[in-house]
Structures are given as structure tokens and as C-alpha cells.
Amino acid sequence: MNPSEPTKNRRRSRRQKPKRGTKVACRKGAFGMGANVALSVLDVSESGLRLLVKGPLSPGDEVEISLEGTAQAKPFKMTAQVAWALPTADGSYCVGVKFQRDLRYADLHLLAWM
């Protein structure tokens, strides 16, 4: 790859900033039985999200994600797979997760600034 060439964006969907008050929970495993390790959601898209978590997660780990916007009666719960994870300077971790099924556009609209 030539360094002067722009890199191609490989994302399937555009990242959106979460609306104020959007809540996230992240539990290791597909059944949501573990402790909530989520600190905050950084961005969300139809195919996944980026969030800060308290403890280490590894690429390939399966997690249950729960997302709740201010205008929702019940949170969205979905299974996702950790795509990447990076430690941060404060000891938390920034992770990217890919949903097993994409969010519907209407559901994404409840959670993010479009």
C-alpha cells in the first residue's frame, strides 16, 4: 500500500453520536449473566458500537449489549462479538463490538443523533 493513497473506509454503516441519556450495559457471554462492565457508549451504528468498559475484553468474546434511549419503554438487548479492544490511559478499555443482527433504522434513530 502506498502511504500517499487514502485508506478505504471498510465500515458497513456510519457511526453516530449517541443521544444524551442513552444508557448501555455490556455483559460477557450471550446470556447476560455476568457483571455489567460498560462505562459509556461512544458511538453507535446499525452494525455495532464503540464503548468504554471497566475490564478487559478480547477480540472474539461474545457479549450481551443492552441499549436504552430516553424515549424507550424497554431496552434493546442483542448479542454481539468483540471486534477489537484497546487499553486506555486510565485503566479502562475501549472496545468495538459487532452486532449479530443489525439494528433497525427506527431503533437507531431513538439512540443516536442522525
Supply the pLDDT for residue 66. 94
pLDDT for 98 equals 96
Q: Residue 83: its pLDDT value, please? A: 96
Contacts 24+ apart (CB under 8 A), 65-69: 65/24, 65/25, 65/26, 65/97, 65/99, 66/23, 66/24, 66/25, 66/26, 66/27, 66/32, 67/22, 67/23, 67/24, 67/41, 67/111, 68/22, 68/23, 68/24, 69/19, 69/21, 69/22, 69/110, 69/111
Domains defined for the chain, CATH in brackets: 23-111 (2.40.10.220)
Instruction: State the 10-residue block means of pLDDT for the chain, 114 residues long.
Output: 54 78 92 90 95 95 93 88 96 97 88 76
